[in-house]
Structure 1
């Protein structure tokens, strides 16, 4: 178990020690612009080793509605929408600025300018689960590309006038081109007026509450082994139908304990953490959806504890292996570091962790603002895991 812990933790924590340039992120891009600006932004993103530009999803070309749907469903984390008038707005403002410089230089040449200086914005959209550091990285990179494109367009427009004007324009602050800015948009449920972006509280409270629920493996497996050592299990087996009833009673009792613990931890996030200067925990527009989600998590956690208590013969075997297994599941499941920054192989391995599906289901409610339809997949997977881990000990005991 320590060897497994070393291997997994070294792989999982390797990504945070790297620079973000070494980690690749898939980014959805919708280009509505008919000019050159949109193509230049996309080319800049493609040249950056950190981003993989995706123009198609679900087997068809991306549009704005499909992009938002993919982000809303958590299939991708980031998206960019380049507006229709990106090139027109930037060229218009560049012409206006070039004319001002030409006028100050005593030149009579003027470039055509429309009456209105409409301002276009590049929309930057994120899955609410995305961590702030990643949002800042993409925002910074996109602003860098836009700055470069603005300079190129301005110099190109000024080159049509006079060489002296071009050399003067090189010293012009780019801030003068007050057009084509980056506008970050919060993406949440339609019924969620102010979607909550993830922060320390929104991540850590549910993540470590789930971790604590799975640690029920230690008292549950220890209790089962102690019953076998003391002879209580044999006496129960001598009573007709008692084995199934006692087993079911244990499962129900520990599920109640886990659910109670989960909701107490949510109360800590809502009322206690703000006393330490942190933001309160927001439960989203469908807080009651957390009840079936908590049940599914508790069922999987208790099933895992029941399985460990049945397979191992002594407490010295069961407790360390059970506890370290929970640590490993949490490490690859996104409790410690975001799954998005893990290597491709580890992202696939994460799907085998019940803590991954537990955290995914809770995030659907707390961050993505979804109801029952949002938690259907993680809820079903956790119920299947819990049922399988509860049934396997029956066959193990018969063997």
Structure 2
């Protein structure tokens, strides 16, 4: 996700809202810039719940649980990079993604996530793109993502969010990661990943999004048109808002950025809403509900640019309700002749059967007589 720092003095210019007065809070401006709330129809979806009881693992650069919008929402998991906080570039991207999933805002402002009642499990598996230690120590966390997926699945994560697209992701998969993905799915976790951010250039196949079973997410702009940078691949599942997205920053401020990372975090939030409403729903059915509950569906039902369409939290929840509804029991058969026929209909059937027997008996007698007459001559 590309980042643009938003100090309070220029926030209004970046977000396109009214200029702040001395009494305005940057949190209020940040909330006003969250255009995705209406696009995803979250106010309507929240009538059914806000993700309570669901743990969403954020596999990223770490999450700052002290940000005002994330207080009380974050459980700190392991740092699997083996690097530690050697620089000040810690938790910026991860905090941003966590705020889109489970941000709770504060004082009527700030960033509110798609599933604001959910909990976040922070698992650090990579370093910030701008961290000077990234290239130097990259080999030291080669299996961090695979271990992070397994850790999340073993510690109760119902959803695993991996906004590791573009430069943060890998262009070649690994057997360890793919096995970890299947392990987590088998334990009931829904895995979501960003499709990648080089759609207007190399448009490379990106992992972990390309692993079977992972919900790969692309990005659309305010007009619900696919962003130029969003990767177009045949493994794409859906698209979600991914341009001019306001998020929490690693400290106590906010940023505006573009990327499939943000889009994936929002879809992880929708998965959390579904898991909260239907705790026993399988990852396959959660994915199906998200794909069915889309808008702007391609004419042929699917395209590498849009996937199955633009996500809609309300429609996804309705689809999940339908998928989880028990099948109607078969009609109870009536006595003798099926489901409750009348006395008159039973009489007609009996008469008809007797007539058929009489006719067949007559034919047999005639045939037998003719055969005897031929034998006698």
Relative to the length of structure 2, the TM-score reads 0.26
Larger Rg: 2
Higher normalized strand content (fraction of residues): 2
Higher normalized helix content (fraction of residues): 1
Relative to the length of structure 1, the TM-score reads 0.25
